[in-house]
Amino acid sequence: MTTPPENKRDSSRWRVLIPCVMAMLAIANLQYAWTLFTTDIMKSFHARLDQVQWTLTFFIIAQTVLFPINAYLVDRFGPRLIVTMASLLVAVGWIGSGLVNSLPALYAVYAIGGIGAGGVYSACVGVAMKWFPDRRGLCVGVVAGSYGFGTALTVLPISYLIEHNGYRTAFMIFGAIQGVGVLVAAQFLRMPPAGWLPAGWEAIKAKVQRKVQQSSRDYTPGEMLRSGSFYLLYLMMALVTASGLMLTAQLKPIGVAYGYDKYALFGGFTVLTLTLSLNQVLNGSARPFFGWVSDRIGRYDTMAIVFVMEAITITILTLVVARPVLFIIVSALMFFAWGDIYSLFPAAIADIFGSKHATTNYGIQYTAKVIGMILAGPGAALLMAAMHSWIPVFWGAVACNVIAAGLALLWLKPRVARLVREQASGDD
Residue-wise pLDDT tens digits, 89-116: 999 999 999 999 999 999 999 999 999 9
Domain boundaries, the chain: 12-193+220-427
More confident residue, 137 or 263: 137
* Residue 117 pLDDT level (bands cut at 50, 70, 90): very high
d(CA 61, CA 371): 9
Strand partners, 270: 264
Q: What is the pLDDT of residue 403?
A: 95
pLDDT of 428 strictly over 50? no
CA angle 238, 416, 282 (to 5 degrees): 45
What type of residue sits at position 79?
A: P
pLDDT (mean) for 294-323: 91
d(CA 178, CA 11): 30
Give the residue among 191, 146, 173, 185 at the shortest CA–CA distance from 9: 191
What's the Cα-to-Cα distance from 22 to each of 7, 13, 91, rounded to whole Å? Answer: 25, 16, 15
What's the whole-number average pLDDT of the chain? 87
d(CA 397, CA 102): 32
Residue 388 DSSP one-character state? T
d(CA 282, CA 286): 6
The SS3 of residue 101 is coil
- Collect all residues with Cβ–Cβ distance below 8 Å to 371 and sequence separation of at least 6: 238, 241, 242
Q: Select the CATH number that applies to the domain covering 12-193+220-427 from these four: 2.60.40.10, 1.20.1250.20, 1.10.10.10, 1.10.3720.10.
A: 1.20.1250.20
* Residue 268 pLDDT level (bands cut at 50, 70, 90): low
pTM for the predicted model, two decimal places: 0.75
Q: DSSP characters for 225-275?
A: HT-HHHHHHHHHHHHHHHHHHHHHHHHHHHHHHTTTTT-EETTTEEHHHHH
Give the residue among 133, 131, 112 at the shortest CA–CA distance from 123: 131
d(CA 185, CA 174): 16
What type of residue sits at position 399?
A: A
First to last CA, the chain: 39
Pairing of strands 264-265, 269-270: antiparallel
Residue 388 — φ and ψ, nearest 5°? 60, 35
Percent of the chain with pLDDT over 90: 42
What's the Cα-to-Cα distance from 40 to each of 74, 77, 165, rounded to whole Å? Answer: 37, 41, 12
- Collect all residues with Cβ–Cβ distance below 8 Å to 376 and sequence separation of at least 6: 241, 242, 243, 244, 245, 246, 248, 249, 250
Q: What is the pLDDT of residue 2?
A: 44
pLDDT (mean) for 189-205: 79
d(CA 54, CA 56): 5
